């Protein structure tokens, strides 16, 4: 049934979901609207015009009252009178549904619904919507690009096409006897790797980890994963991933990719002991949060040669420093918090999310 009054939308407070408030709630402070316009400006100069277009495509949701919540208690306190709930990690169970007297739709900001009691929602005729986030796909692509860059040494050899350039860079280019051999590899770049037939260990097979697993399988990689809760057999088959203990993953993987939120339990998860357990020469990829990897232990592992390479986005300090000690290593890649970009990933995600909610609320 169409809504007869302005809808109430409860949103788990997080930097990007606040965009729902900016788009749909006219009472949003001008300072927040300006901050989002600045955030998007390098990809979307006309942010205000974009917001207007989204509103026109979702008339059932504009104007709305948007309530941002930060905890389970805050969530339950704001659910009475709410028509729509948007969550990422907050739990939606019977206790929440019991106080949600008008709730029609629960939107998961992602695709994994383990924090939502789907049976309880179904029993109360509450629709559940999911969103495959483009930003998560972008992060998986970025992790894969980092792996390819390290494997092929692209960050070191791109543009080195002459004997003089290669020699200056420390290589020993040559000309092979073409009467007998091919000329491939004349630059004599040693230590190049393949992703094919190598083992990728993913720590945290959540939204981004799953996207990476799908892409790694296409490259012919063996994928193993570790997290606190093992997936079902059907999910493991879907993502072509096999469960391993953390110690086994570290010992077996040629590539280790971390996909965890930073919290007290994950801070310095990759410490000196765990880095030492990694397969000698293996590479570590981190597109989650820098603090998951102990920086001092990381520098030790790189200096000793035990770690074959490292890639990071975002950085330990933002903006970074031109004298960052990590930059001295030729097997390290640092990028300035670009993994989830471009901005249109988030913009298109929230356009789809809002239009989908409007459609669900109107049906």
Which positions are annotated as active-site residues? 289, 318, 337
Least Cα distance to 209 among 295, 128, 163, 144 occurs for 144
The owner of tokens 């493991």 is 236
CA dihedral 61, 65, 71, 76 (to 10 degrees): -90
274: left (phi over 0), alpha (psi -120 to 50) or beta: alpha
The strand order across the sheet containing 65-69 reads 65-69, 8-12, 84-87, 105-108, 127-129
186: CB partners within 8 A, 6+ apart:
173, 174, 175, 176
Cα–Cα distance for residue pair 150/344, rounded to 1 Å? 27
Instruction: Give me the residues paired with residue 283 across strands.
Output: 255, 309
Least Cα distance to 174 among 157, 194, 182 occurs for 182
5 phi and psi angles, rounded to 5 deg: -135, 170
Cβ proximity of 75 and 99 under 8 Å:
no
């Amino acid at each position: 049934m169409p809504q007869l009054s302005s809808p109430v939308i409860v949103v788990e407070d997080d930097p990007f979901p606040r965009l729902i408030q900016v788009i749909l709630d006219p009472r949003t402070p001008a300072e927040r609207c300006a901050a989002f316009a600045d955030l998007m400006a390098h990809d979307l100069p006309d942010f205000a015009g974009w917001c207007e277009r989204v509103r026109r495509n979702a008339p059932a949701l504009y104007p709305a009252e948007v309530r941002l919540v930060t905890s389970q208690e805050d969530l339950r306190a704001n659910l009475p009178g709410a028509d729509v709930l948007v969550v990422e990690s907050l739990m939606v169970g019977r206790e929440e549904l019991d106080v949600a007297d008008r709730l029609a739709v629960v939107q998961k900001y992602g695709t994994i619904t383990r924090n939502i009691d789907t049976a309880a929602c179904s029993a109360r005729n509450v629709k559940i919507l999911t969103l495959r986030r483009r930003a998560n796909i972008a992060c998986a692509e970025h992790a894969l690009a980092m792996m390819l860059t390290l494997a092929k040494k692209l960050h070191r050899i791109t543009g080195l096409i002459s004997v003089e350039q290669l020699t200056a860079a420390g290589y020993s280019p040559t000309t092979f006897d073409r009467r007998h051999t091919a000329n491939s590899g004349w630059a004599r770049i040693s230590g190049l790797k393949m992703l094919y037939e190598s083992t990728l260990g993913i720590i945290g097979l959540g939204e981004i980890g799953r996207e990476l697993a799908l892409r790694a399988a296409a490259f012919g990689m063996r994928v193993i994963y570790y997290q606190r809760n093992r997936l079902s057999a059907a999910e493991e088959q879907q993502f072509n991933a096999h469960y391993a203990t953390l110690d086994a993953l570290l010992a077996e993987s040629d590539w280790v990719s971390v996909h965890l939120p930073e919290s007290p339990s994950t801070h310095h998860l990759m410490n000196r002991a765990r880095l030492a357990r990694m397969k000698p020469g293996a590479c570590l990829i981190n597109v989650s949060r820098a603090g998951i990897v102990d920086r001092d232990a990381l520098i030790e592992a790189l200096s000793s040669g035990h770690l074959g390479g490292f890639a990071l986005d975002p950085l330990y300090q933002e903006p970074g420093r031109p004298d960052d000690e990590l930059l001295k290593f030729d097997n390290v890649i640092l990028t300035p918090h670009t993994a989830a970009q471009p901005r249109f990933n988030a913009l298109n995600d929230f356009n789809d999310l809002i239009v989908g909610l409007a459609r669900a609320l109107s049906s």
